[in-house]
Amino acid sequence: MTTDIKAALRALHIETPSWAYGNSGTRFKVFAQRGVPRDPYEKLADAAQVHAHTGAAPTVALHIPWDKVADYGDLAAHARDLGVGIGAINSNVFQDDDYMLGSVTNPDPAVRRKALDHLLECVDIMDATGSGTLKLWFSDGTNYPGQDDIRARQDRLAEALSAVYDRLGADQRFLLEYKLFEPAFYTTDVPDWGTAYAHCLRLGPKAQVVVDTGHHAPGVNIEFIVAFLLREGKLGGFDFNSRFYADDDLMVGAADPFQLFRIMYEVARGGGLEAGVAFMLDQCHNIEPKIPGQIRSVMNVQEATAKALLVDRDALAAAQAGGDVLGANAVLMDAYNTDVRPLLAEMREEAGLAPDPMAAYAKSGYFEKIAAERVGGTQAGWGA
Ligand code: PSV
Ligand code: MN
């Protein structure tokens, strides 16, 4: 039993986002921190630290144009030298004046063309970096009733998605991300998993849905969505983070570790640990140090997954079949209430790592080194 759990945990890879290493904040203030990277190469170096101490974060997601470089093949080679690889390529059609009324759903065909060209350029970058995943999020929507034609915007969206789909190579896929609201306040063109699912279903197997845990209304049962999408073969991945109010982008598992456990239980139950689901973090660290923030988040996902794997499935099935409501609930809670930290520490030692990645990073001197070295130049930040 423990052998199986350990094997499943060893295979669990969590992708960190390049943008987590840069400065970030709210629309009120971005706080600069010492030692923050000044370019994508330095972001990869920081991401490699997370992998070095956890052994569980071997890939890094890029965001274009925030991570624009002259030579993407060279960036991928740099990643390899550091012991990591390039993960998902995230498109960005939300930070240009032209996109004020939308990108691929904009009423102006010239803006739509520009947005589509960017998405296609992202597939070129996938080719150059060896990435198999394109992540699409559209900030498109409207603020006022009557502002634009809701149905026509769906037609425009479908047209753009279809063009991107046709451009994908045999080993490439795109993940369509939904978000309830923000920046649009009245309608959002991909507001929920149902909309994303319907578009992906029409297109075929290379189009899947990505669940950003911060993108739901309060009280939404995210594990139900996970179970449903997995059953349909349409769960492509996660953007993990935590929320208290809206899209807070806090460390995954910080706000509601029990929810993360319930999600990971459905992932394990539905075969998602073996089905190519991408476990990505999409977080910003506004007030906490960035590399330890990522390390802690990776550990939080590992702990939730270990607990999910500890669920006694036979006992659960028996209780469910027998209508034993409290017994079934107790099986889940027993697993959730187990302290899995010793198991994970043991596994790290078996892999030649320190048992406590947070302490190991703090002791490594890496922060002092980058704080001393990275002076001058412009620090990377949210939006660059
Ligand atoms: C949008 O809120 C989002 O979740 C998308 O994934 C973007 O690419 C990302 O945040 C930017 O941080
Ligand atoms: Mn996201």
Query: What's the CATH number where 114 sits?
Result: 3.20.20.150
pTM over 0.95: yes
Q: d(Cα 147, Cα 139) in Å, to the nearest integer?
A: 16
Structure confidence at residue 1 (pLDDT): 66
Q: Which atom of ligand 1 is nearest to the CA of 182?
A: 2
| Mutation to probe ligand 1, out of 63, 103, 212 (largest number of atoms < 8 A from CB) | 212
Six-digit token string for 94: 């939300």
Q: What are phi and psi of 217, to 5 degrees?
A: -70, 155
90: which strand partners? Answer: 63, 135
CB 139 within 8 A of CB 184: yes
Ligand nearest to the CA of 184: 1
CA of 353 to the centre of ligand 2 (A): 30
Q: 143-152: long-range contacts at Cβ-Cβ below 8 A with a sequence spacing of 24 or more?
A: 143/184, 143/185, 143/186, 144/186, 145/186, 147/186, 148/101, 148/102, 148/105, 148/107, 150/187, 152/107
Residue 239 CA to ligand 2 center (angstroms) comes to 5
Judge whether 332 lies within some domain.
no
Closest of 171, 232, 172 to residue 200, by C-alpha? 232
Banded model confidence at residue 381, pLDDT cuts 50, 70, 90: confident
User: Looking at per-residue confidence, does 174 or 381 come out higher?
Assistant: 174
| Chain segment 254-304, per-residue pLDDT in tens | 999 999 999 999 999 999 999 999 999 999 999 999 999 999 999 999 999
CA distance 51 to 46: 9
Q: Take atom 9 of ligand 1 and give the residue whose Cα is closest.
A: 282
| Confidence (pLDDT) at 257 | 98
pLDDT value of position 383: 62
Q: List the residue whose alpha carbon is closest to atom 5 of ligand 1.
A: 137
| 67, part of any domain | yes
Indicate the number of domains in the chain. Answer: 1
Look at residue 382 and tell me if it is in a domain.
Answer: no
Residue to mutate, 90, 94, 382, ligand 1, most ligand atoms under 8 Å from C-beta: 90
Angle at 199 (CA atoms; ends 116, 169), nearest 5 degrees:
55
In a domain, 336, yes or no: no
Is 299 part of a structural domain of the chain?
A: yes
In a domain, 375, yes or no: no
**pLDDT bucket at 151, cuts 50 / 70 / 90:** very high
In a domain, 290, yes or no: yes
Spacing of C-alpha 312 from chain mean position = 28
> Which atom of ligand 1 lies nearest, measured to the CA of 90?
8
Q: Please state the separation of Cα 62 from the chain's center in Å.
A: 11
Mind listing the pLDDT tens digit for each residue in 71-115? 999 999 999 999 999 999 999 999 999 999 999 999 999 999 999
Instruction: Write the pLDDT tens digit of every residue in 303-339.
Output: 999 999 999 999 999 999 999 999 999 999 999 999 9
CA of 214, closest atom in ligand 1: 4
Best residue among 62, 239, 284 to mutate for probing ligand 1's pocket (most ligand atoms within 8 Å of CB) is 239
* Model confidence at 384: pLDDT above 60: no
- Ligand 1 pocket residues where CB is under 6 Å: 19, 90, 137, 177, 179, 212, 239, 247, 282
> Average pLDDT of the chain?
97
As a whole number of angstroms, the distance between CA 142 and CA 106 comes to: 10
User: Which 8-state DSSP code applies to residue 143?
Assistant: S
Average pLDDT, integer, range 179-197: 98
Q: Give the pLDDT mean for 13-41.
A: 96
**Ligand 1 nearest-atom number relative to CA 210:** 6
In the predicted structure, residue 382 carries a pLDDT above the cut 80: no
Residue 361's pLDDT band (cuts 50, 70, 90)? very high
Give residue 246's domain range: 2-311
227-254 per-position pLDDT tens digit: 999 999 999 999 999 999 999 999 999 9
Closest ligand 1 atom number to CA of residue 92: 8
Average pLDDT over residues 157-175: 99
Calculate how far, in angstroms, residue 249's C-alpha sits from the geometric centre of ligand 2: 9
Q: Name the E strands within 125-283.
A: 133-136, 141-142, 173-177, 187-188, 207-212, 235-240, 278-281
Does 76 map to a domain?
yes
